[in-house]
């Protein structure tokens, strides 16, 4: 009974009114045709596809799951047909280069469509998600013949792609991987090893699947410096695109998971499988991060999509379900009880979801705009700044939005009460699906270390400085805006505290490296809550032309966020200052 309606007005408000989408399109070389009329038409059609095709398959796909027999994966009923409609509609090449069969629309357009897909059917959305990561790796690091043969087929939707990174013994520590690549004839390699947790490693959507596999050459140095990346197709593929026999690779099993059951998570075995090197030997880490950073933003969008669907359904139920009377007297005296929405605690949970969805959407879209600016911009310095800011925001988008998705789906279950625990209503599926988003493409702890370590301290705060400058410029520009006057001093104070906390951790970690690890998760959440406060304020600042009711809506939501949610940042700041001592004091043997 879970439903989904694409929130087109909110999406367009953030894109055009808050973030200046029309000016963004006009500034991108090669995006001259991406005017508002065209983009709106694309979003309208995407809404229809997701509401009418993908959303109805979400519940049935969860119940049926994927089946694995004799090395073959069968996806749930309707999934393959939905993929064919997806390809026929041109969605597989929406943002890909025209030279390889794509439509070359800005990445932000693809991201908005992806948010709809993730709300409608997260499991199904994982199949094209991995193709997008493979597309980015081939686009940036592949040779021209590889783009002609493999990239075109993926963009056209005839083949799909995967990322084969981790192995049973190494988890996220890819420096420990053991998969081998032996040079062979005709500039090919023989890839041998086992990869786990491979999303869409095997399925029935397409005949060929293009695996991008991390492996080591015989003379590779140890650690991450010895990683190379290889194209290993399911069906042997010659340099001219001619297909041969089945490659010597197979799906050994699929995982049995608590959520995203309709997404095939595979163990892939490579037994001297034929493949081609992408880029330079021992330089696969760079190509890997191209895939992973794309995927991390995509998983952040998954969190956003789940929050949106949870909120829509919780709001519907809270308005419809009659239970008890308001503490201040009957609000629906013609009914035997008042609807849930009159009760303060129900409103607390609804407003929490609403505030996170709306500010989270602005945060995510802002990051995707930076992808466009970096990839398509013509000014070198502007592209560098976009890259620095994007690198800083990516772990926040990935980790914070997915953690908040867990919170929001939990609130939805609470609002439904006992029905939230029952499969027929769909809330428990959203909660189960949300759990994985904080784990794959790097756990929350890994994202936190990336944010504080690599993206802040190691870069001398390059991205943080750019973001704080953006916040300061906004505050200065809106100093006379009465609509946001109450929020500007708070933002200014928090920005100053953000700098102070960063300097504090940097100094402490020089004396004791454990201080960085001890502070990382709290620093991540502090950063996330402050960033969402900034975007909550931007949502208010742009609202007046939309009318008084719309402005009041955004203002009420921001006030709730600043008074009831933002104080969490103070707790994280206190934990950061507490340091590593209490975490590291206990001996290993004393646990338990």
For residue 1, pLDDT beyond 80: no
Crossing angle (nearest 10°) for helices 79-88 and 55-64: 150
Structure-model confidence comparison of residues 349 and 175, the more confident one: 349
Using CA atoms in the order 471, 477, 480, 484, what is the torsion angle rounded to 10 degrees?
-40
Radius of gyration of the chain from its Cα atoms, rounded to whole angstroms? 24
Q: What is the pLDDT of residues 326-360, one digit of tens each?
A: 999 999 999 999 999 999 999 999 999 999 999 99
Give the pairing type, strands 228-233 and 208-215: antiparallel
Q: How many CB atoms are closer than 10 A to CB 1?
A: 12
Q: What is the pLDDT of residues 454-512, one digit of tens each?
A: 999 999 999 999 999 999 999 999 999 999 999 999 999 999 999 999 999 999 999 99
Q: Residue with structure tokens 């929350």? A: 444
Chain mean pLDDT for the chain: 96
Residue 443 burial class via C-beta count within 10 angstroms: exposed 0-12, middle 13-18, buried 19 and up? middle
For residue 260, pLDDT beyond 80: yes
Q: What's the confidence (pLDDT) of residue 171?
A: 76
Crossing angle (nearest 10°) for helices 122-141 and 284-320: 150
pLDDT band at 373 (very low <50, low <70, confident <90, very high): very high
Q: What is the pLDDT of residues 272-328, one digit of tens each?
A: 999 999 999 999 888 878 878 889 999 999 999 999 999 999 999 999 999 999 999
For residue 426, pLDDT beyond 80: yes
Percent of the chain with pLDDT over 90: 93
Q: What's the confidence (pLDDT) of residue 438?
A: 98
Q: Taking phi first (over 0 means left), then psi (-120 to 50 degrees means alpha), and beta for anything else, what does residue 549 get?
A: alpha
What residues are paired with 246 via a beta bridge? 235
Q: What's the confidence (pLDDT) of residue 484?
A: 98
In sequence order, the 6+-apart residues with CB closer than 8 A to the CB of 43 are: 6, 8, 11, 12, 109, 112, 113
Q: What is the pLDDT of residues 572-581, one digit of tens each?
A: 999 999 999 9
Q: What is the pLDDT of residues 18-52, one digit of tens each?
A: 999 999 999 998 887 789 999 999 999 999 999 99
CA dist 195 and 344 (Å) reads 49
Q: What's the confidence (pLDDT) of residue 292?
A: 81
DSSP at 220: P
Catalytic residue among 115, 167, 274, 441: 441
Number of helices followed by number of strands (H, E) in the chain: 20, 11
CA dist 519 and 510 (Å) reads 13
Q: What's the confidence (pLDDT) of residue 293?
A: 85
Over range 192-215, report the average pLDDT. Answer: 97
Percent of the chain with pLDDT over 70: 100
539 is written with which tokens? 């949502």
441 is catalytic: yes
pLDDT band at 390 (very low <50, low <70, confident <90, very high): very high
Q: What's the confidence (pLDDT) of residue 287?
A: 82
DSSP at 50: I
For residue 54, pLDDT beyond 90: yes
CA dist 574 and 197 (Å) reads 37
Instruction: Decide if 133 contacts 114 (C-beta within 8 A).
Output: no
Q: What is the pLDDT of residues 83-120, one digit of tens each?
A: 999 999 999 999 999 999 999 999 999 999 999 999 99
Structure-model confidence comparison of residues 223 and 507, the more confident one: 507
Q: What's the confidence (pLDDT) of residue 357?
A: 98
């Amino acid at each position: 009974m879970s439903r989904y309606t694409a929130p087109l007005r909110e999406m367009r408000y953030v894109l055009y009114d808050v973030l200046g989408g029309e000016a963004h399109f006009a500034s991108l070389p090669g995006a001259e045709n991406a005017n508002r009329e065209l983009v709106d038409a694309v979003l309208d059609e995407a809404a229809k596809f997701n509401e009418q095709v993908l959303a109805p398959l979400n519940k049935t796909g969860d119940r049926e799951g994927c089946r694995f027999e004799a090395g073959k994966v069968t996806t749930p009923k309707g999934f393959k047909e939905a993929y064919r409609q997806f390809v026929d509609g041109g969605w597989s090449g929406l943002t890909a280069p025209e030279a390889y069969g794509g439509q070359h629309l800005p990445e932000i357009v693809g991201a908005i469509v992806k948010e709809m897909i993730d709300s409608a059917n997260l499991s199904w959305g994982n199949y094209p998600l991995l193709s997008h990561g493979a597309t980015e790796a081939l686009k940036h690091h592949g040779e021209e013949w590889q783009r002609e043969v493999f990239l075109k087929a993926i963009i056209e939707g005839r083949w799909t792609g995967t990322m084969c990174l981790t192995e049973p013994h190494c988890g996220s520590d890819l420096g420990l991987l053991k998969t081998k690549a032996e040079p062979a004839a005709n500039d090919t390699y023989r890839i041998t090893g086992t990869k786990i947790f491979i999303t869409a490693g095997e399925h029935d959507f397409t005949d060929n699947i293009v695996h991008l596999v991390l492996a080591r050459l015989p003379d590779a140095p140890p650690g991450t410096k010895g990683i190379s990346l290889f194209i290993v197709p399911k069906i042997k593929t010659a340099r001219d695109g001619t297909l041969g026999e089945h490659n010597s690779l197979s799906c050994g099993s699929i995982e049995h998971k608590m959520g995203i059951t309709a997404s095939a998570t595979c163990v892939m075995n490579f037994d001297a499988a034929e493949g081609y090197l992408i880029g330079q030997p021992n330089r696969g880490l760079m190509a890997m991060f191209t895939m992973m950073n794309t995927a991390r933003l995509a998983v952040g969008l998954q969190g956003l999509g789940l929050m949106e669907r949870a909120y829509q359904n919780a709001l519907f139920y809270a308005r419809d379900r009659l239970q008890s009377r308001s503490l201040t007297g009957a609000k629906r005296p013609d009914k035997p009880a008042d609807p849930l929405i009159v009760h303060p605690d129900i409103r607390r949970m609804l407003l929490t979801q609403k505030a996170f969805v709306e500010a989270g959407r602005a945060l995510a879209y802002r990051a995707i705009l930076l992808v466009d600016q970096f990839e398509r911009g013509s000014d070198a310095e502007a592209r560098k700044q976009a890259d620095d800011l994007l690198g800083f925001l990516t772990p926040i988008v990935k980790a914070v939005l997915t953690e908040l998705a867990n919170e929001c789906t939990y609130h939805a279950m609470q609002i439904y009460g006992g029905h939230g625990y029952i499969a027929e209503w769909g809330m428990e599926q959203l909660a189960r699906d949300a759990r994985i988003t904080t784990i794959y493409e790097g756990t929350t702890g890994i994202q936190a270390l990336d944010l504080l370590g690599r993206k802040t301290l190691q870069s001398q705060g390059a991205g943080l400085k750019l973001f704080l400058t953006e916040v300061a410029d906004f505050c200065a520009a809106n100093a006379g805006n009465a609509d946001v006057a109450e929020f500007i001093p708070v933002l200014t104070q928090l920005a100053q505290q953000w700098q102070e906390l960063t300097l504090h951790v940097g100094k402490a970690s020089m004396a004791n490296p454990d201080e960085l690890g001890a502070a990382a998760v709290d620093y991540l959440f502090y950063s996330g809550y402050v960033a969402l406060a900034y975007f909550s304020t931007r949502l208010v600042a742009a609202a007046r032309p939309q009318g008084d009711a719309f402005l009041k809506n955004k203002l009420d939501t921001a006030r709730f966020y600043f008074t009831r949610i933002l104080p969490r940042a103070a707790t994280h700041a206190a934990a950061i200052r507490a340091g590593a001592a209490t975490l590291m004091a206990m001996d290993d043997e004393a646990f338990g």
